[in-house]
Amino acid sequence: MGKAEIYAKLKDAIVNLDSDAAEAASKEAVSAGLNPVECIGDGLSAGMQVISDLFDDGKAFVPELMLAAEAFEKSVKILTASLPAGSAGASAGKVLLHTVEGDVHDIGKNIVRTILSANNFEVIDLGRNVPVRTVIEKAQELNVDIIAGSALMSTTMPRQREEVALLKEKGLRDKYICIYGGAPVTKKWCDSIGADGYSDSATDTPIIAKKLLAQKKGS
């Protein structure tokens, strides 16, 4: 069976909220020697995107989201367990991940966390509804390279702007790379608030993060 077919099985298992099918497809992927990161991105995350879109359209509800997330996490554990111990190599960078203050959505953030971790980033996940000041305090305390925040509602997008503004106020703006995303967030918005990067998909986030880190080191 080709990898495209296995990716489709992984995606369908999430869309169908079938944890057993997700487990079976993940084991099949491991047996076939497929790249775990690609399986997560092109299979599992694609399925989660379908569920997320259905939720946004009012065609899926919180119980469905929870079942999909359960199947997703179960599959990720199987896929990443296939990576040999110590194969990850040096850390690609330290990321402070969160959903902004006032926003309780976290499925997209959790997918980003998984993808970043699979790409050798050290991820500190503060969770959801994280106050602006807490984000900045934790960034300093943990000496992170990147602050990555998700906003899933247009009403919480201003918190991203406030984070950048508080960094400037404290004279810390140049210390951190700020990357933002979320359903209503756009590149234009990120540019307007002075962010360093914008990501519209979980699989693109590590690519953008590595590029921005390389630029910073080279400057």
70 and 97 assigned to the same domain: no
Segments forming the whole domain that contains residue 47: 3-81
- Dihedrals φ, ψ of 131, to 5°? -55, 145
Among 81, 102, 131, the domain boundary falls at: 81
Please name the residues in contact with 26: beta carbons below 8 A apart, sequence gap of 6 or more: 10, 39, 74, 75, 78, 79
Per-residue pLDDT at 65:
83
* Domain annotation covers residue 202: yes
* Domain annotation covers residue 195: yes
119 and 205 assigned to the same domain: yes
98 and 77 assigned to the same domain: no
Among 47, 81, 115, the domain boundary falls at: 81
Written as six digits, the tokens of 110 are 């959790």
- Dihedrals φ, ψ of 95, to 5°? -115, 130
What's the structural domain count of the chain? 2
183 and 131 assigned to the same domain: yes
* Domain annotation covers residue 88: no
149 and 196 assigned to the same domain: yes
CATH code of the domain in which 59 resides = 1.10.1240.10
* Domain annotation covers residue 191: yes
Per-residue pLDDT at 86:
47
39 and 128 assigned to the same domain: no
- DSSP for 124-179, written as a single string: EE--SSB-HHHHHHHHHHHT-SEEEEE--STTTTHHHHHHHHHHHHTT-GGG-EEE
Per-residue pLDDT at 89:
54
Among 81, 110, 129, the domain boundary falls at: 81
- DSSP for 166-215, written as a single string: HHHHTT-GGG-EEEEE-TT--HHHHHHHT-SEE-SSGGGHHHHHHHHHHH
CATH code of the domain in which 195 resides = 3.40.50.280
68 and 9 assigned to the same domain: yes
CA dihedral 181, 205, 124, 106 (to 10 degrees): 40
In what side-by-side order are the strands of the sheet with 93-99? 121-125, 93-99, 146-150, 177-181, 197-198
* Domain annotation covers residue 21: yes
What is the mean pLDDT of each successive set of 10 residues along the chain, which is 219 residues long?
Answer: 92 95 96 90 87 83 86 89 59 95 88 82 95 98 97 96 98 98 95 96 88 90
199 and 114 assigned to the same domain: yes
Of 99, 194, 96, 103, give the one whose Cα is nearest residue 154: 103
* Domain annotation covers residue 87: no
150 and 66 assigned to the same domain: no
100 and 207 assigned to the same domain: yes
Distance between CA atoms of residues 167 and 135, nearest Å? 10
* Domain annotation covers residue 53: yes
203 and 134 assigned to the same domain: yes
* Domain annotation covers residue 86: no
118 and 40 assigned to the same domain: no
